[in-house]
Amino acid sequence: MSQRIADFEKARKKRMRKNRLKRLAILFVMALAVAAFFWLKDSSLVRDLRYAADDFIHSFGSGPGFPLESPGGQTQEMGVVGSDFYLLNDTNLYVYSRQGKTVSSAQHRYTNPTAETQDGRLLLYDRGGHGLMLRTAAQTIYESNLEDTIISADVSADGTFAVVTDASGFAAKVTVYDSNQREIYAWMSADDLIQSAALLPSGGHMAIATLNAQEGMLVSQVMIFDLTQEEPVATVDYPGEMIVQVDYMENGSIAVVSDQGAYVLSGSGRQLGEYRYGRLQLAYFDTGSQGMAVVTQSQIGRQEYSMVTITDSGRVSSLQQLTHGVQSVKTERGSIYLASADAIYAYAYGQSGAAASYPVSDLEDFAPLAGNLYYQTSDTIEEIRASSSQEE
C-alpha cells in the first residue's frame, strides 16, 4: 500500500514539474512576443505596413468620378505615386485615386516646387530653396527646412532619399538619409557642380552627374557610389557634354541624358549603349523603369521631331520621325506617351508608329497610370480609359 502511495506521489510531482515547465515556456514565448512588439513597433517594416494601410484606407472607396473640378493655380507637373496620381501646382500637392477620390491635399509654400517619386514615396522639394517634404499618397512622413540651398534630389521606394545642395567651402554636396531621416552618407565636391543624383531602387548605391570646365570646355562625369565606401567605385567621363539627368532603371542600369546624347551604363559604369543626336538637339525625354524615350528636334528650319527609345540593356529599339508636335513625353512600363497641343499619342517600345491617339484640348499636363491617362485642363481633371483608344 505504502509503495502505491509513493508511486502516486512521484507521478504527481512529475506532472507538476511538467506543468511548471509548460507554463514557463508559455511565459517565455509571451515575453518574446512583447519584446518583439516593442522592438518592431518603430521599425521600418511595421512603419511601412502602417503607411500602406493608411494609404489604402484613404484611397479606398468610390469617388465622384471624372471629370473633377480643377483646383486652379499654376500647374507644375502631374505624376504617379503608388496606385494614385498627383497634381502639383504653385501652392499645393493634390493626390487623387483612379476613382476620382481626393486622397490628400498638402500646402507647400515653395517657390519652385519639384517632385520625385519611387513607387509609394514622393519627395517634394523647393529647387533653389530650402524646404522638402517626404510623403506617401495620403500623409506627410517628414518635413524640414535645410540650411543649404537645394539643387536636386531623389527618393527610393523605402523612403531613403538623397539631396544635392550647395555647401560652405565646397562647390556642392550630396547627402543621403535613411528611412528614419538620419544622415547615412555624405560626399562633397570641391570643384565640380553636382547636376543630378539618383538612388538605386533596391538601395545601397547612388549615381551622380557632375559638371566642370577645363580650358574653356565643359567636362561632365557620372560617378557611381557604393554607400559603404567613401569614394566613388566608378567614374565615367563625358568631355564636351553637359549631363541633364542621371537615373537608375529597375534592373540596376543607369540612364544618362546629356545635351549631346543618351547613354545606358551598367551598375559598375560599363557603357551598354548610346545614341548620339548628331545635328539634332534634345527636346524632351523621360526615363522609365525599363528604358527611356528621347525626343529630338531639328535645329533649323521647320520644327520637326524624332523619337528614339532605348531599353534598359542599352539597345536602341526604335528611331522614328514624328508627324505631330510634342510638348511633353512620359513613360509607363512598356508604353510611351507623347502629348501635343491637341492629342496624346501612345507608342510601344520597339514599334514604329503610334498605337493609339486620344484627342484632348486645353491640355496642361497628364499622368499615365495603370494603362489609363489622367490629364488636366484649365477647368477640369479628366480620365481617358485604355479601352477608349482611337486607332491610328
Please write the tens of the pLDDT for every residue from 142-168. 999 999 999 999 999 889 999 999 998
The whole-number pLDDT of residue 169 equals 87
Do 220 and 242 contact (CB within 8 A), yes or no? yes
Q: What is the pLDDT of residue 25?
A: 60
3-state secondary structure of 313: coil
Digit-coded pLDDT (tens) for 178-191: 999 999 999 999 88
Mean pLDDT of 227-233: 95
* Cα within 13 Å of Cα(389), Cβ side: 15
The pLDDT of 113-133, averaged and rounded, is 97
Cα separation, 334 vs 288, whole angstroms:
9
- pLDDT beyond 90 at 39: no
Q: What cell was used for 64?
A: 465622384
Which residues does 144 contact at the CB level (< 8 Å), separation at least 6?
A: 131, 132, 181
pLDDT band at 312 (very low <50, low <70, confident <90, very high): very high
Please give the backbone phi and psi of residue 289, each rounded to the nearest 5 degrees, phi first: -70, -25
Identify the residue whose cell numbers are 567613401: 230
Q: Is the peptide bond before 359 cis (omega within 30 degrees of 0)?
A: no
In whole angstroms, give the CA distance from residue 292 to residue 284.
11
Overall average pLDDT of the 220-244 stretch:
96
Q: Give the per-residue pLDDT at 391.
A: 44
Q: Give the Cα separation of 231 and 251 in Å (integer).
A: 23
pLDDT (mean) for 229-256: 96
Mean predicted confidence (pLDDT) in 10-37: 56
Distances (CA, A) of 173 to 129, 166, 270: 15, 6, 25
Does 54 have pLDDT greater than 80?
no
**SS3 assignment, position 58:** helix
How far apart are alpha carbons 330 and 390 in whole angstroms?
A: 19
Q: Given this model, what pLDDT does residue 64 score?
A: 83
Residue-wise pLDDT for 259-291, tens only, equals 999 999 999 999 999 999 999 999 999 998 889
Which one-letter amino acid corresponds to residue 389?
Answer: S
Average pLDDT over residues 289-307: 87
Q: What amino acid occupies position 54?
A: D
- Count CB atoms within 10 A of the CB of residue 149: 15
Range with the poorest average pLDDT among 71-80, 272-281, 318-327:
318-327
Residue 192, all three cell numbers: 565640380
| pLDDT tier for residue 216 given thresholds of 50, 70 and 90 | confident
Contact 326, 362 (CB under 8 A): no
Task: Please report which confidence band the pLDDT of residue 8 belongs to, taking 50, 70 and 90 as the band edges.
Answer: very low
